[in-house]
Chains A and B, each alone.
Chain A
């Protein structure tokens, strides 16, 4: 049985790298069409290679594929190679990354066609694909970290794509710096794992870790510390409390970037790492509780901010933060496959939401404020319908994708033993909020009165290069959830079964205690409650924004302090500014700059120079130009040498004289 692509697994990431290099080096003078062709064929071929690799993976019986291509770092017993692996988890990630990535590339050819720096954009986008594929295909933490940092770089470059705009370049820097904090934790986690187990290779490491005893709540052993450090990194990359602040600002980048990097793929890397390291996490109850709590808190916190934002992309950004929180909640309750399932469905509908929002912005000629939209549903029908599907999906209406994945997470949270019911309640509340702010977005944008000036804005539907990906993603948002339909739905959880070799079967201990019938009815009840929450959110949004359009402003006025707090995002940026940025700036200015740099470093350098000059001033007096003084020096020198040479003899003479 030949497995041509699995043998050269490196081809999947290499193709986008080639595309990035070609466009980046030579694309400047090329017309858009050639740049398109290069970028699209790079990602398209990569997608095709990924599909073929997955087919071969199935053909050879879904066994873990581990390939060592070459050594990268070898030092003593430590080895970090360019090793790629493919298992069930990788299959899902690779397909999501290449598939959604390819669709967004197609979309970008339409969206970016009027922008400058076309080749630069596609070069960065391909570079991102390369690093992201390295991240998901890596077979050890070190190589994963390469991809991890690389996507951070691509993210920085693309957020600051409009680098002439100060807010955009600032947002890029913010993303990079905030991520650095998380990466620091990630690296410490890696060091601790290496110190403990002597390897960073996934297969070896997990095999060595598995027999260790579990650490219960409150115990801070190796696993707890390592997991919490890794989770710090995940918090940075996946925008969780308290490091989420960069993601909303990242919306300064072009919309396809927001869709690809800041919604569908890169920000889910943290969830991927937690899921990949699930053996470590399940060893530590503390780490799991922290992951679940942080995820749940982030989900709720971000959703409340999303309620009042008026920028269409900002709403989606906070929604992304919130949904990422759901994924961590899923991982935290030990339902890693549910978390990954939500990651996948979220990639579909959130990419779709962003792309549709991009299409709206395109139609409105760059307007992003929803208060200046309204009544667009008749004018841009395809965009409207696809966005509506995505909204229904994210709000959790059956039978769309979000319903199944969100339901799976909430169900696992409910059934988990211990103090998890509160997390379930908060999760449910978040579902309600999600439904509300998403329908608020739809109603403000597409329904109601038209709130823009028709003479200035020529509303037009986007070209098919943009609408095509929307339609495909809408289809995926509908059917993507059917992979794991709950049993009362008459379906089977194919998704969990598929991932079982990675995560192990029967992760939810509470489930086994229930009989099948009871489990059915419980699942059904939970699903009905969840749908009821979503429907309540829809109804509230409908009533507030369509039936009583004046009401929201009234409510905002009567609850002014709360409204302002939410509108200003809980003043978190301001708090960080006062607590961290300002003191750092003060220390840098007053100590590092004025004392260390100016006084000490410059002082040393200048002091040496001044000293040399001063010495010169003194010693140049010996070079008087007076011939006889030179003669004196010669005589003195000669006498000195003579005395030194004959010193023993002189001493002997003196001794003899005594």
Chain B
């Protein structure tokens, strides 16, 4: 069996990639994808722990996260389409009406 910390290290790498992409990318869709990446990194950690400790709660939590992520994807994509329509751009730097 694969040791648990392998999964955790993979999860940490995926999460770190997501976080870095979230900070440095400008395209809204890419940012959106990096959020999904982070969520799934967390899911992986949940499942790994669930397996390691032989408990089912982690897997239940993962299902919740997937549901929320799906709902978020629906709303988020809707917002992205509106932004594209209004500004003809997906560059997040341009969406700055609230900026000083």
Contact = CB atoms under 8 A, between A and B. Distances in A.
A141 to B, nearest CB: 69
A624 B100 contact: yes
Contacts of A623: 100
Contacts of A513: none
A575 interface: no
A528 interface: no
B22 A631 contact: yes
A2 interface: no
Contacts of A635: 19, 23
A658 interface: no
A632 B23 contact: yes
A615 B19 CA distance: 31
A628 B22 contact: yes
A655 interface: no
A164 to B, nearest CB: 58
A626 B22 contact: no
Contacts, number: 23
Q: Considering residues B23, B98, B99, which has the most beta carbons from chain A within 10 angstroms of its beta carbon?
A: B23
A625 B23 contact: no
B96 interface: yes
A623 B100 CA distance: 8
A455 interface: no
B98 A625 contact: yes
A627 interface: yes
A625 B22 contact: no
Interface in A609-649: 620, 623-628, 631-632, 635
Interface string B15-38: 000010011100000000000000
A620 B100 contact: yes
B19 A625 contact: no
B92 A628 contact: yes
B29 to A, nearest CB: 14
B40 to A, nearest CB: 18
A626 B99 contact: yes
A578 B100 CA distance: 62
Contacts of B100: 620, 623-625
Contacts of A620: 100
Interface in B23-81: 23-24
A539 B55 CA distance: 127
A463 to B, nearest CB: 83
Interface string A408-447: 0000000000000000000000000000000000000000
B23 A628 contact: yes
A175 to B, nearest CB: 63
Contacts of A631: 19, 22-23
Contacts of B93: 626
A106 B18 CA distance: 100
Interface residues of A, number: 10
Nearest to A629: B23
Contacts of A626: 93, 96, 99
Nearest to A620: B100
A182 B93 CA distance: 78
A417 to B, nearest CB: 94
A104 to B, nearest CB: 77
A620 to B, nearest CB: 7
B92 A625 contact: no
B19 A627 contact: no
Nearest to A638: B19
Contacts of B98: 625
Nearest to A627: B92
Nearest to B96: A625
A624 B22 contact: no
Nearest to A625: B99
B20 to A, nearest CB: 9
A627 B26 CA distance: 10
A627 B98 CA distance: 11
A635 B38 CA distance: 12
A623 B98 CA distance: 10
Contacts of A632: 23
A624 B23 contact: no
Contacts of B19: 631, 635
B25 to A, nearest CB: 8
B56 to A, nearest CB: 26
Nearest to A628: B23
Most buried by B among A623, A626, A627, A635: A627
B37 to A, nearest CB: 14
B99 A624 contact: yes
A563 to B, nearest CB: 81
Contacts of B99: 624-626
A647 B22 CA distance: 27
A359 B93 CA distance: 94
B67 to A, nearest CB: 23
Interface in A205-259: none
Contacts of B96: 625-626
Contacts of B23: 628, 631-632, 635
A600 to B, nearest CB: 36
Nearest to B98: A625
A631 to B, nearest CB: 5
Nearest to B97: A625
Nearest to B16: A635
Contacts of B92: 627-628
B65 to A, nearest CB: 17
Interface string B81-100: 00000000000110110111
A624 B92 CA distance: 14
Contacts of A624: 99-100
Interface in A577-625: 620, 623-625
23 contacts: A620-B100, A623-B100, A624-B99, A624-B100, A625-B96, A625-B98, A625-B99, A625-B100, A626-B93, A626-B96, A626-B99, A627-B92, A627-B95, A628-B22, A628-B23, A628-B24, A628-B92, A631-B19, A631-B22, A631-B23, A632-B23, A635-B19, A635-B23
Given A625-B98, A626-B93, A627-B95, 11 more contacts: A620-B100, A624-B99, A624-B100, A625-B96, A625-B99, A626-B96, A626-B99, A628-B24, A631-B23, A632-B23, A635-B19
Interface of B: 19, 22-24, 92-93, 95-96, 98-100
Task: List the 10 closest pairs (A to B, CB-CB), nearest first.
Answer: A625-B99, A625-B98, A631-B23, A631-B22, A628-B23, A635-B19, A632-B23, A625-B96, A627-B92, A624-B99
